[in-house]
């Protein structure tokens, strides 16, 4: 689960993003896995890389862990992965894809573009009434009346 916090939804970049995952110990021994949380952007750019030990998890127990991600991107497609290593070379992995998109800001920009297009269309439909003389007649008169011709 990925949650944004400390923002104006849809307008500003998130100050903090909370990455939440649940670890279950389905075996019969205590485990204290090490979690590596990574986030990569649309073009493979590494945005986050956290590695730390988690709490001890007893057999049959589930623990929900939250990691705080400061300075998440304003707009990007992000792949978030959690890799757990425990015991002797045992591991588990989970990942998800999420989008950081300022939807409200995009909708406002789209509405502004549509407004400008409509304004131009209706404003462009009204033109000044044409003069009684066409341009060629006016040009001939100006050329004929100019001095030195």
In order, the DSSP letters of 127-146 are -PPPPSS-HHHHHHHHHHHS
Whether pTM > 0.95 for this model: the answer is no
32-86: pLDDT as tens digits: 999 999 999 989 999 999 999 989 999 999 999 998 888 888 788 899 999 999 8
Q: Which residue in 65, 62, 61 sits closest to 53, CA to CA? A: 65
């Amino acid at each position: 689960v990925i949650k944004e916090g400390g923002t104006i939804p849809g307008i500003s970049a998130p100050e903090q993003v909370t990455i939440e995952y649940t670890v279950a110990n389905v075996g019969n021994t205590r485990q204290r896995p090490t979690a590596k949380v990574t986030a990569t952007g649309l073009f493979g750019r590494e945005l986050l890389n956290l590695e730390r030990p988690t709490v001890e998890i007893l057999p049959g127990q589930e623990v929900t862990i939250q990691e705080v991600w400061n300075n998440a991107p304003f707009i990007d497609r992000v792949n978030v992965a959690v890799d757990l290593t425990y015991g002797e070379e045992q591991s588990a992995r989970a990942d998800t894809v999420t989008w950081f998109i300022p939807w409200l800001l995009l909708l406002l920009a789209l509405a502004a573009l549509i407004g400008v297009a409509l304004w131009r269309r209706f404003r462009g439909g009204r033109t000044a009434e044409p003069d009684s003389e066409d341009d060629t007649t006016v040009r001939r008169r100006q050329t004929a009346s100019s001095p030195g011709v």
